[in-house]
Amino acid sequence: MHDNLRACDHIWLNARIASMDPAVDREYGDLENYALGTKAGFIHALVPMSEAVELNSSVSCTDLHQQWVTPGLIDPHTHLVFAGNRANEFEQRLQGVDYQTIAQQGGGIQATVRATRELCEAELYELAKQRLQSWLSEGVTTIEIKSGYGLTLADELKQLRVARQLARTLPVRVKTTLLAAHALPPEYQHDADAYIDFVCHTILPAAVNQGLVDAVDVFCETVGFSKAQSQRVLLTAEQLGLSVKIHAEQLSNQQGAAMAASLGALSADHLEYLDEGGVKAMQAAGTVAVLLPGAFYFLREKQLPPIELLRQYQVPIALASDFNPGTSPLASLRLMLNMACTFFRLTPAEALAGVTRHAAQALGIADECGMIKVGMKADFCCWDIDHPAELAYMVGTHSLRSRVLGGQVVSA
Ligand code: NIG
Ligand code: FE
């Protein structure tokens, strides 16, 4: 028997593996009829079944009977922790009022901020925990969670603590992102620069000191913050040693993606109004394009992100749910795969890379998650499907058979 297999804690036999490893020259990095061995939470062996024949009975095994195995899914952009809902705004928008107008009238993000400030940490935790079940039941093993509905020191930290608590109590990896520059809080209504000072000098350092934050994001938009204000936040974050991301070019072209790329941002997200200069800047910096088809759909956006340019310049494309109560109340990453194919014409293979390898890159964890490869964390899913394209094609079926996190089979 293969030596690496002998040393494993557990072996999954007879697997069809969509490794998503670009070094494997097949559309999904397919490894047909393989054995996958894990050791101490990591993938330790990937061996053709023909080399795994005489299995030592002392190694525990699971026969997958040719089930497909993919990397655990990764949702690299969510606003999971919030209170209340905005069904009333949904109704207004269906009658023709647009998102920006609702925001200018004190609704939008501000409405969720008011509701979120009112709940205590335990209450927010319960809401987020319930929502998170949808991600787990769809095969998600890593989720990013942003703050941004507190906009005070105490309320931003409260949201981040909830995100950290979810990671401690549920079988999922969580990356936290501080998005204190999401909207201007009422306390600073006519002084955005003073609020940016407060974010840079007070909220950011406190979040770092308390170990609550993995990355920093800003909403660079006419209804958010200017490019210069966004840059101040991201520069401060970098000085504190944090990775940076940006909500950019969602509703208009503010050149935010190029600015963030010039700071080496992990990702720029949304990007419907991104131009070629922005694409080039992202390519040069290795910044991932995180597309959010849920927000595109829910806002009935007409402007498509520049998919062909992103392909042409080989900017990695990730996909995320952007789950939030205003622009994407859609708790399904599988639905995003489908929408990315139908709206953005991604191939199902590009879509799957978008919630595995490229999503990992958008979170700065490409060396540990997002592929099935020796040395990576043993986060993977086994599916009752005939082909990986089905993951993007069919929505709402319960095709997940098992979810493995750090080598352990974990239930939803
Ligand atoms: O990603 N663009 C800014 N933030 C969210 C929307 C937040 C909200 O409307 O509550 C987004 O679309
Ligand atoms: Fe968002």
**Mean pLDDT value of segment 195-203:** 98
Q: Which of 280, 264, 335, 274 is nearest to 304 (CA)?
A: 274
Binding-site residues, ligand 1, Cβ < 6 A:
108-109, 112, 219, 247, 250, 295, 322, 324-327
- The residues near 407 (Cβ < 8 Å, ≥ 6 apart) are 9, 10, 38, 39, 40, 41, 42, 378
Q: Which pLDDT score is estimated for 302?
A: 96
Looking at the CA of 144, name the nearest ligand: 2
Looking at the CA of 109, name the nearest ligand: 1
**Mean pLDDT value of segment 296-307:** 97
Residues 237 and 327 in one domain: yes
pLDDT, tens digit (0-9, with 9 covering 90-100), for 78-99: 999 999 999 999 999 999 999 9
Q: For atom 1 of ligand 1, which residue has the closest CA?
A: 322
Is 125 annotated as ligand-binding?
A: no
Residues 203 and 342 in one domain: yes
Residues 206 and 353 in one domain: yes
Distance CA 159, CA 258 (A): 29
Owning domain of residue 40: 3-70+371-410
Is 250 annotated as ligand-binding?
A: yes
Q: For atom 9 of ligand 1, which residue has the closest CA?
A: 326
CA of 391 to the centre of ligand 2 (A): 23
- Indicate the number of domains in the chain: 2
Torsion of CA 327, 254, 283, 389, to 10 degrees: 20
CA of 146 to the centre of ligand 2 (A): 8
Q: Which pLDDT score is estimated for 58?
A: 74
pLDDT, tens digit (0-9, with 9 covering 90-100), for 7-28: 999 999 999 999 999 999 999 9
CA of 81 to the centre of ligand 2 (A): 12
CA of 352 to the centre of ligand 1 (A): 24
Whether pLDDT at 282 is above 80:
yes
Q: For atom 12 of ligand 1, which residue has the closest CA?
A: 327
Q: Mutate which of 88, 217, 321, 327 to test ligand 1's pocket (most atoms within 8 Å of Cβ)?
A: 327
Residues 315 and 385 in one domain: no
Structure letter (DSSP) for residue 146: E
Is 247 annotated as ligand-binding?
A: yes
Torsion of CA 25, 29, 35, 40, to 10 degrees: 120
**CATH number, residue 84:** 3.20.20.140
**Mean pLDDT value of segment 235-256:** 98
**CATH number, residue 384:** 2.30.40.10
Looking at the CA of 301, name the nearest ligand: 1
Looking at the CA of 183, name the nearest ligand: 1
Q: Mutate which of 219, 220, 321 to test ligand 1's pocket (most atoms within 8 Å of Cβ)?
A: 219
Whether pLDDT at 224 is above 70:
yes
CA of 325 to the centre of ligand 1 (A): 8
Distance CA 324, CA 331 (A): 9
Residues 55 and 167 in one domain: no
CA of 42 to the centre of ligand 2 (A): 31
Residues 233 and 378 in one domain: no
Q: Which pLDDT score is estimated for 283?
A: 98
The confidence band for 348, taking pLDDT boundaries of 50, 70 and 90, is: very high
pLDDT, tens digit (0-9, with 9 covering 90-100), for 135-179: 999 999 999 999 999 999 999 999 999 999 999 999 999 999 999
Distance CA 208, CA 211 (A): 5
Residues 232 and 329 in one domain: yes
pLDDT, tens digit (0-9, with 9 covering 90-100), for 107-132: 999 999 999 999 999 999 999 999 99
pLDDT, tens digit (0-9, with 9 covering 90-100), for 357-380: 999 999 999 999 999 999 999 999
Is 84 annotated as ligand-binding?
A: no
Q: Which pLDDT score is estimated for 1?
A: 61
Pairing outcome for strands 215-218 and 173-181:
parallel
CA 109 to ligand 1: nearest atom: 10
Q: Which pLDDT score is estimated for 56?
A: 60
CA of 35 to the centre of ligand 1 (A): 43
CA 326 to ligand 1: nearest atom: 9
Residues 160 and 16 in one domain: no
Q: Which pLDDT score is estimated for 57?
A: 64
Looking at the CA of 85, name the nearest ligand: 1
- The residues near 265 (Cβ < 8 Å, ≥ 6 apart) are 234, 243, 244, 245, 246, 285, 287
CA 322 to ligand 1: nearest atom: 1
**Mean pLDDT value of segment 301-306:** 97
Q: How far is CA 211 from the centre of its chain?
A: 20
CA of 400 to the centre of ligand 2 (A): 27
More confident residue, 180 or 52: 180
Structure tokens at 173: 């990896």
Whether pLDDT at 307 is above 70:
yes
Whether pLDDT at 53 is above 80:
no
Whether pLDDT at 246 is above 80:
yes
Residues 254 and 392 in one domain: no
Q: For atom 8 of ligand 1, which residue has the closest CA?
A: 326
Is 149 annotated as ligand-binding?
A: yes
pLDDT, tens digit (0-9, with 9 covering 90-100), for 387-398: 999 999 999 999
Is 2 annotated as ligand-binding?
A: no
Side chain identity at residue 219, one-letter code? F
**Mean pLDDT value of segment 279-301:** 98
Is 269 annotated as ligand-binding?
A: no
Residues 65 and 80 in one domain: no
Residues 167 and 145 in one domain: yes
Distance CA 404, CA 272 (A): 35
Residues 286 and 392 in one domain: no
The confidence band for 59, taking pLDDT boundaries of 50, 70 and 90, is: confident
User: Which segments within 187-330 are labelled E, that is strand?
Assistant: 215-218, 243-248, 267-270, 288-291, 317-319
Cβ atoms 49, 381 nearer than 8 A:
no
